[in-house]
Structure 1
Amino acid sequence: MSTVVATKPKTRFALTEDWTVVVLGLLSISLALSGLIIPAPKFDWASTDDLFTSVFTSKNGLLIVEQFLFTYVLALLGTWLRGDGSGTNSVRATLLGFPVIFALTLLALLLSGNKTLKGLNLEAVIFSLSIGLAVGNLFRLPDWLRGALSTELFVKIGLVLLGTTVIFGDILKAGSLGLIQALAVVVSVWYFAYWISKRLKVDDELTMMLASAVSICGVSAAIATSGAIQGDGKKLSYVISLVLITAIPMMLFMPYAANALGLSPAITGAWLGGTIDTTGAVVASGTLAGEEALKISTIVKFSQNVLLGVAAFAISVYWTYTKNQSETVKTSKPTLGVIWERFPKFILGFLAASLLFSFVISPETVNVVKGSLKSLQGLWFALAFTSIGLETRFADLFNADNRRPLYAFLIAQTFNIFITLGIAYLLFR
């Protein structure tokens, strides 16, 4: 009687998620630079008539379809490259589920394009998260849709593309004072937010995201930090919600507070730009304070945005080092090989894109492709937050354990307001 010997099936070459993201992000940039530019669709509207004259047109519809096909192909390619054919994120699940995620995200982009809602500084990601939460909590998601929720893939592709907007030359033109303030604010506020979070016994992941969001640049910093430490998407959505909710009253009241304090336009602008966490809210608040205040606030905010790459790199090195220490013998130190293995490789894609657009690509070429890449970056972020919402339960977002991070965020933001005012006064008086 012959014996049948079971042979182990061959596994094909597959990339890790981070290397997959680097490949897809740089591929998107390379295609744009080679001439394959996906124009950004229009989503701005003020009335029902605007919807049919500017958004729901054949030309704009074609642009939306082009973006859908481009991101659809990349999502499928990303699933295949990771070798997830038999896992939770199978190619079949992506093939069926991604169009649904895109359709929900498209609805979010339409809502965020409304003039009234835009005036409240409600960004697309908050609509994506809200729609995802509503659908995910009202309906039972089929397995094929759950299998398509590649949140980390979507977020990190967006982060690599974010690197194309961080142009170091612009910061040098903006002036040294803005950079000095940005460094002083980021370091002092980040450390204070970290300290107060630890005192309130907030967990490590939330602490890192919260400190970065308060001190650097709000939504983008929280997303970058979550990617660097491979954080929980539910915790990220909670921090993003705090950032967006607190930005609205700060945007409205801080210009009036500056006027009541008798601050000069320059000090007012530096205060607004260094304190308010989202770029859109900074612009809106600076507009209320006047032309000079708007200019200074934008310079300071952009200075903080440029520090995002450096901060994400430092956080990722710190996290890989300390995480290794917590998982092994406390007295042993991780080797460079271990740190490299744990280091989030998408950071390299972000830095490569930033250096490429800062020092290699001509300003003329940057102007040609930046609109398309910026639109794709925002789309990937919105897709990620739709996915986070779909896989998150309301009970997870609003339980009693979230009170401590809320208190930590509010205390850190209060500290941010006062320390930034002092630094702005010293530098811009």
Structure 2
Amino acid sequence: MLQPKKLHEDWIAVIIAFLTVTLVVAGLKPALPKYSWSSGNELWTQLTNTSNLLHIGALFLWVLGSLLLARFLAGDFKPAALVAGLLAIVLISLLAQIITANKAIKELGIEVVLFSLLLGLFISNVIGLPQWVKPALQTELYIKIGLVLLGTNIIFGDIMQAGLLGILQSVVVVFTVWYFTFWLCKMLGLDDEFRMMISSAVSICGVSAAIATSGAIEGDNKKLSHVISLVMIVAIPMMLVMPGIAVWAGMSPAVAGAWLGGTIDTSGAVVAAGTKLGDEALKYATIVKFSQNVLLGLAAFIISLYWSYTKKEGNVEKPTLRTIWDRFPKFVLGFIVASLLFSFVLPAPVVAAAKGSLKELQTYWFALAFTCIGLETKFTDIFKVENGRPAIAFIIAQLFNVFFTLIVAYLVFR
């Protein structure tokens, strides 16, 4: 079969997201099934409703088509291996939606992404994850598609207003937290590769920063996998607890969102936590997280430069400005372009007609992503490597990040 040149996952996410936007604007609008129940009879009626069944089927085909396109663009087109695993993930996410549609749970304000995560964790840690599901676990891709679609619901003027403040907060936080984490890892006796990856993961943007840093220093993949596991595991209690603390402390949406966006290390967890506090907090959380993502390319370039001149021997190719572009998260560009498109280019009636469907699709991609995060996460892995020193360093650094970022968020966004 003819294969295209392999594309980076960021570009694939942008392509799929904008293909989605094009189809929705053209009038093809898949929708989430609708549930709202308080008794078994109500639930059964809605489960067997023809409209809901059609919506479920259409969404599965939509996501399957997107995933097949993604694997084709990535040069790894194996459709038979994806269908069964994706069906399982979709059914788990559907179960999460049904649970959150219970009227008593709805009153608690619990989002579908949280139950998607919890169901995934239960399966992974109690039942065990079947091998045939793993090919469809494309967590980062699902999150990036959802984040680009999120741009269609955020007005660009808000990004410009809050983005400048977000960048100010991000520069202060990233520099301070990175240096503190690097020093802490040294005190705990971790090697330079672990120090670099953990420092970047805690201070910048979690998984993406760890991957970019590992690439910049040609790091050990086993160490990288452990850091990614730490990011995922620690993000879960932060995502669950921090919104409650923000409500208890009476934080404004701007401060709460900036605090969440500046401390929680995965974009999906930031979105889930911000969603629990409302659209305004979600907006600031996303903008601050993206402000940190913007710094990723620059940070990777500086780390490459430092590593090449201090750790490399012999005639090794030195990093160039191209490194910034190569490490820059392209889905951030997609988010900005989507926001520009819906803020200034498309007619208002078109925007009004498309935004609802795009919002539902965005939510659906996030639900799938968090199902995958739960399915990939093992709590027993956290303290096995190097007697738990990387985990201890990560947790202490994250606690410092939480308190320091809260102070900065109050000063910048109050």
Letter in 1 for 2:30: I
Letter in 2 for 1:169: G
**Alignment partner of 1:243 is 2:235:** no
Q: Aligned ranges for residues 352-371 of structure 1 at < 5 Å?
A: 352-371=337-356
Q: Aligned ranges for residues 16-31 of structure 1 at < 5 Å?
A: 16-18=7-9, 19-31=11-23
Shift of 1:416: 3.2
- Counterpart Cα distance in 2 of 1:127 and 1:194: 32
> What's the counterpart of residue 254 of structure 1?
249
**Alignment partner of 1:38 is 2:33:** no
Match for residue 292 of structure 2 among 301, 306, 311: 311
Shift of 1:349: 2.7
**Alignment partner of 1:84 is 2:73:** no
SS of aligned partner of 2:137 = coil
Shift of 1:122: 4.3
> What's the counterpart of residue 229 of structure 2?
234
SS of aligned partner of 2:136 = coil
Match for residue 177 of structure 2 among 193, 205, 216: 193
- Counterpart Cα distance in 1 of 2:38 and 2:246: 22
Shift of 1:27: 0.8
Does the CA contact (< 8 Å) of 2:167 and 2:291 recur in 1?
A: no
SS of aligned partner of 1:200 = helix
Does the CA contact (< 8 Å) of 1:222 and 1:239 recur in 2?
A: no
Cα offsets for 1:148-180 (capped at 9, x unmatched): 2222332222232222233213457xxx6x667
> What's the counterpart of residue 166 of structure 1?
154
Cα offsets for 1:185-229 (capped at 9, x unmatched): 4443444333333333275445444435xxxxxxxx657767877
Shift of 1:301: 6.0
Shift of 1:373: 1.6
Match for residue 54 of structure 2 among 44, 52, 62: 62
Matched residues, percent identical? 31
C-alpha change, 1:364 and 1:239, in structure 2 (3 Å) is farther
Stretch deviating more after TM superposition (138-147 or 21-30): 138-147
- Counterpart Cα distance in 1 of 2:275 and 2:67: 33
Does the CA contact (< 8 Å) of 1:151 and 1:387 recur in 2?
A: yes
SS of aligned partner of 1:40 = coil
Q: Aligned ranges for residues 25-424 of structure 1 at < 5 Å?
A: 25-43=17-35, 45=37, 48=40, 51-52=43-44, 57-85=49-77, 90-117=78-105, 122-139=110-127, 141-170=129-158, 182-201=166-185, 203-212=195-204, 234-255=229-250, 271-275=255-259, 302-303=283-284, 305-319=286-300, 322-323=303-304, 326=307, 329=312, 333-397=318-382, 400=388, 401-423=390-412
Letter in 1 for 2:71: T
Shift of 1:82: 2.1
Structure 1: gaps (5+ residues): 1-9, 213-220, 259-267, 287-297
Cα offsets for 1:111-131 (capped at 9, x unmatched): 344455455554433332332
- Counterpart Cα distance in 1 of 2:151 and 2:340: 8
SS of aligned partner of 2:75 = coil
Shift of 1:47: 5.3
- Counterpart Cα distance in 1 of 2:143 and 2:254: 30
C-alpha change, 1:168 and 1:51, in structure 2 (3 Å) is same
Structure 2: gaps (5+ residues): 186-193, 216-223, 262-269
> What's the counterpart of residue 216 of structure 1?
none
C-alpha change, 1:105 and 1:207, in structure 2 (3 Å) is farther
- Counterpart Cα distance in 1 of 2:53 and 2:342: 30
C-alpha change, 1:95 and 1:53, in structure 2 (3 Å) is closer
C-alpha change, 1:307 and 1:141, in structure 2 (3 Å) is closer
Shift of 1:254: 0.5
- Counterpart Cα distance in 1 of 2:275 and 2:136: 36
- Counterpart Cα distance in 2 of 1:348 and 1:283: 22
SS of aligned partner of 1:403 = helix
C-alpha change, 1:119 and 1:419, in structure 2 (3 Å) is farther
Shift of 1:102: 1.0
Stretch deviating more after TM superposition (108-117 or 347-356): 108-117
Shift of 1:308: 4.2
Stretch deviating more after TM superposition (404-413 or 319-328): 319-328
SS of aligned partner of 2:249 = helix
Letter in 2 for 1:381: F
Q: Which has the greater radius of gyration? A: 1
C-alpha change, 1:12 and 1:127, in structure 2 (3 Å) is same
What is the TM-score when the length of structure 2 is the normalising length? 0.75
Does the CA contact (< 8 Å) of 2:259 and 2:406 recur in 1?
A: yes
RMSD over aligned Cα, in angstroms?
A: 3.8
**Alignment partner of 1:13 is 2:1:** no
- Counterpart Cα distance in 2 of 1:70 and 1:92: 16
